[in-house]
Structure 1
Amino acid sequence: MSKYPTTRNFCFGKQIAWAGHQALRTYYGQGHFATVQAHFLRWRQFCDWLRDYYGIRDTGAIKSHHLDDYAEHLAQQVEEEVIAVTYAQNLLSSINTTLKALRGDGHIRIDSPSKRVGRRSHIRRELPTGYDWDRFQSAVDALYDVDLPRAAAVAQLARSLGLRLREAVLGNIPRWLRERDERGEIDVREGTKGGRGKEVARWVPVDGAGDCALENADSTRRELGCGNNLLKPHETYDSFVNDGEIHRARVILHRHGIKGYHDLRAAWACDRYFDLADRHAPVVMQCSPPDELSEEEAEAVNTLKKELGLELAQELGHNRLDVLAAYIGSYRS
């Protein structure tokens, strides 16, 4: 317990992270030191997130929607391959344990951590955040205002070319510029999921927005003395993403209503679907039920499942049509 009497954090102390540690020690009867330490380290990450995103410094202020937002935040990081699925699940489990130790009950908890991260929703039912270009540009401007130019460049690459976070950070920008000039598209090889880029070419078309994103990324890397990608010499991907600009940028994006870099990728997918099919993606049209589809719309669905769907899936770096619904929604409810 705290040396000084306080009612904050269920009387376990004034500092939210420290209070969680004290509650865990009490919960485990001053034993199980390794378990207590593991829970505490994961709990401390959650406390940092609460402070950065919501300014919360008292566990009594934590509500269920905060846990839901954090679970979604972790799910985004899993999708972007920043953290492993098992680690994200352990983070959520430790929050449940620590909150139970603090509160003395299980009223505020995350149900089924294994289902909250690591499993992509089969059908997107909400418009991707960042789909609106004005909102997106406002977020990019904010990143520049706080001197996060590389994070802004990554965001533009994700929104304008549908790149994963790792792909945008590690991509060979000079080669991309040559490919754009020669054939109007780029081959995404570095940072691909499962290392597929080394074996299978993945060509992504470059339009006006993509052209600006590439030029900006190239200008940024040269001004900051980076190599062929957006990393500085002696800088690692993990340090840039977990402790550097990308980590700080997530808070800025969140304040502008953008959940994360993966949602920017989904926004690109919706735009690209419109380019291919000449009609809005299902999630943009709010997922009209099948029995309300016109004959023309029904034909579009069949087309999506075949040639256009496969083309879009490949441009996203997938080889399965069923993954598309997580990006653009589906006409089937």
Structure 2
Amino acid sequence: MQRHWLNFSFVENERKSDCGRDEAAEMLAAQTPLGGAEACFPAHLNISIRRFGRRAQERGGGVNAVGRRLSRVATHMAIGKGVISREHPKKSSQRRKKQRKGGLHCQKCSKPLDRRASSNDSRKTQHSMLSGLIASEINKKSWGLNMARNFGLGSRDMSKAGQFALNNAVKDGGMSFDHAAKTGKSFAKFAEFAKENGVKDMQYVTPELVKEYGQQLADRVSNDEISNGHAQNLVSSVNATMREATAGRWKSVSSVKDSGINQRNNIRTTPPTGLDRTQVERGMNVLNARGQAIAQLGRELGLRTKESSLLNAQSALREAQQRGVVSISEGTKGGRDRQIPITSARQIQTLQQAALAQGNARAVMPPEKNWKQWKENGLRSIRETLQSSGISRLHDLRSSYACERYQALSGHRAPVLGGNAPKADDRAARLQIASELGHGRTDITNSYIGAHT
């Protein structure tokens, strides 16, 4: 059987191309004697090379070490499928003794390799022996993501590997730190379920297993152990983590259709308690300057409490006066930045008061506290004070802003207040309100302004 030699190291190609690791890998694939990328270098392998390369660099290694690891994995896979035969133990032992005695030798040309060369030097590359039949006998799934435990994410523990995948998404700008941390904690619960069912590796997680997990959650919802929303969030966390771990190849499992979890019903049926400004002002009179700023930012600009707390009100005031909008980037949900239009003088007054309350700090919340401390102490005090004045939740302040914006955009009162705008006007208003509130779907506006009838 004819054997070919494949050099997994693409250091020189990467240096020559000035294009990056992906282009270098493609160049190397085209240069191999097995007939190019389609024959011996599947597209999935590029993903594995990038992942192993990133891990090697983090540990201080080089891409040559990564290539050797890929070679070993591929060889073991070929032996397991009977494509090539295992080397005789006696011959293998003799070869190792010869190398120890005479130094390192290239397996392809038998020429000695320079021990003084660095581990990243292409001269120390070990030429890996592969059969020409490997590419056709080993399927793409085995070649691609299944080349290391948990897709080579850096941990043998499934929950930790999932968190590492989410952290990579944060580095790429596709997810916020807070969202990644919450998703990782939720995924850890699925990892426990998978372990109980004999699955300890993410590469063996299937949609059927996730459906079974969702059905178990549906039973807990029926027994009133957890809410619909929490159960759906747990399934969504599995989809999000697996999607990041598989580089987008994961097919999401529907928590409603596939798992049988009841559709959550968050349609607002009662007017928000923050609509009456007199009632809001009565509650804010008891608060300090920072508390008043947090509440007013939620009522007049529709900000979340975290967004209000982390807002640089002084910069926001300058932007509002110069450009007529306020850019929100800190504390957003899912890391989605947005701009809120300035449509009234009351909004400018709110930003002016927040800027005064901020003082020399970088944000509205006190500089001596981090977000966790402020959330557990400061915001809790603000919430309890407003509740004593009839404001049930801080979220009602955002709902009040949404109801006012709906009437301004559609010319009709919000559905929760008895309005019934034409369908086209209702749709256009919801699109704008969802954008201003930092949501990606219009159906979420039902929890703020009610459902259209």
TM-score, length of structure 1 as denominator length: 0.57
Q: Distance in 2 between matches of 1:298 and 1:232?
A: 43
Give the corresponding residue for 1:134: 278
Give the corresponding residue for 2:414: 281
Distance 1:170 1:129, change over 3 A: same
SS in 1 for 2:415: coil
Q: Percent identity?
A: 31
Counterpart pick for 1:236 among 363, 370, 379: 370
Distance 1:232 1:276, change over 3 A: same
Matches within 5 A, 1:1-333: 112-115=224-227, 118=230, 121-143=265-287, 148-197=288-337, 201-222=338-359, 225-227=360-362, 229-243=363-377, 245-285=378-418, 297=420, 299=422, 301-305=423-427, 307-332=428-453
Deviation at 1:232, TM superposition (A): 2.9
Deviation at 1:210, TM superposition (A): 1.3
Q: Distance in 1 between matches of 2:368 and 2:312?
A: 17
Deviation at 1:165, TM superposition (A): 0.6
1:157-208 CA-to-partner distances (Å, cap 9, x unmatched) read: 00000001111000121221121111222111111001112xxx43333422
CA RMSD of aligned residues (A): 2.7
Deviation at 1:298, TM superposition (A): 5.2
Distance 1:184 1:113, change over 3 A: farther
Q: Is the 8 A contact 1:158 1:164 kept in 2?
A: yes
Q: Is the 8 A contact 1:174 1:218 kept in 2?
A: yes
Deviation at 1:277, TM superposition (A): 1.0
Q: Is the 8 A contact 1:180 1:206 kept in 2?
A: no
Distance 1:139 1:116, change over 3 A: farther
Q: Distance in 1 between matches of 2:356 and 2:372?
A: 23
Structure number with the bigger relative contact order (C-alpha 8 A, sep ≥ 6) is 1
In structure 2, the gaps of 5 or more residues are 1-177, 187-222, 233-263
Q: Distance in 2 between matches of 1:188 and 1:116?
A: 30
Q: Distance in 1 between matches of 2:408 and 2:265?
A: 24
Q: Distance in 1 between matches of 2:414 and 2:308?
A: 24
Distance 1:132 1:326, change over 3 A: same
Partner letter of residue 290 of structure 2?
R
Q: Distance in 1 between matches of 2:374 and 2:330?
A: 16
Deviation at 1:122, TM superposition (A): 3.0
Q: Distance in 2 between matches of 1:113 and 1:284?
A: 33
Give the corresponding residue for 1:12: none
Q: Is the 8 A contact 1:129 1:257 kept in 2?
A: yes
SS in 1 for 2:326: strand
Deviation at 1:209, TM superposition (A): 2.0
SS in 1 for 2:285: helix
In structure 1, the gaps of 5 or more residues are 1-79, 88-110, 288-296
Q: Is the 8 A contact 2:301 2:340 kept in 1?
A: no
Distance 1:211 1:187, change over 3 A: same
Q: Distance in 2 between matches of 1:210 and 1:298?
A: 26
Q: Is the 8 A contact 2:406 2:413 kept in 1?
A: yes
